[in-house]
Amino acid sequence: MNKGQISITDLKNKEIAETMLTALKTQNWEMFRSIIDTDISWTLPGVSIISGEVKGADAIIYRAQQIVGHGVSMELKNILYGQYNFTLSIHNQAKKENLILDEYLDTVCTMRNEKIVKIETFVSDVEGVNAFFIGS
């Protein structure tokens, strides 16, 4: 491959990253399911209802539904590409009653066979996430 040339893996990861964001924003759960492995896992720090590790496509989709169900708007800052994986840098904001969520996060997506097999989310304000995502 020539210097500056984009690989097939890079193009596919870009497509998957964009599909993931579109699926979340439009709440198209079948689209989301199409890019994740059935044995996927997702870790997210904290002690809220969206925190911890969940495994399996259904659990991942349920977590995503919980997040968007709380009115979280996701502003994409960057998609960062590794040799085989990618990271989404996102600014999340939401408001409900007297609670405000205003955080930055990086979500690392590990790929295998053109499917996301692991999601690991790093957040800038774990206490804010814990306070916003309580109960329900």
DSSP strand pairing (36-44 vs 52-55): antiparallel
* Sign of the alpha-carbon dihedral angle for 38, 121, 125, 73: negative
Domain ranges of the chain: 8-132
* The pLDDT of residue 82: 87
State residue 113 phi and psi, 5-degree precision: 55, 40
Rg of the chain in Å (alpha carbons): 15
Contact 80, 89 (CB under 8 A): yes
What is the full per-residue pLDDT of the chain (136 aa) written as tens digits? 455 555 666 778 889 999 999 999 999 999 999 999 999 999 999 999 999 999 999 999 999 999 999 999 999 999 998 888 999 999 999 998 899 999 999 999 999 999 999 999 999 999 999 999 985 4
* The pLDDT of residue 136: 47
Reported pTM: 0.88
* The pLDDT of residue 8: 61
Q: What is the DSSP string of 100-116?
A: EEEEEEEEEEEEETTEE
Which position has the token pair 């690392």?
A: 108
State which CATH number among 1.10.274.10, 3.10.450.50, 3.40.50.300, 2.60.120.200 fits the domain covering 8-132: 3.10.450.50
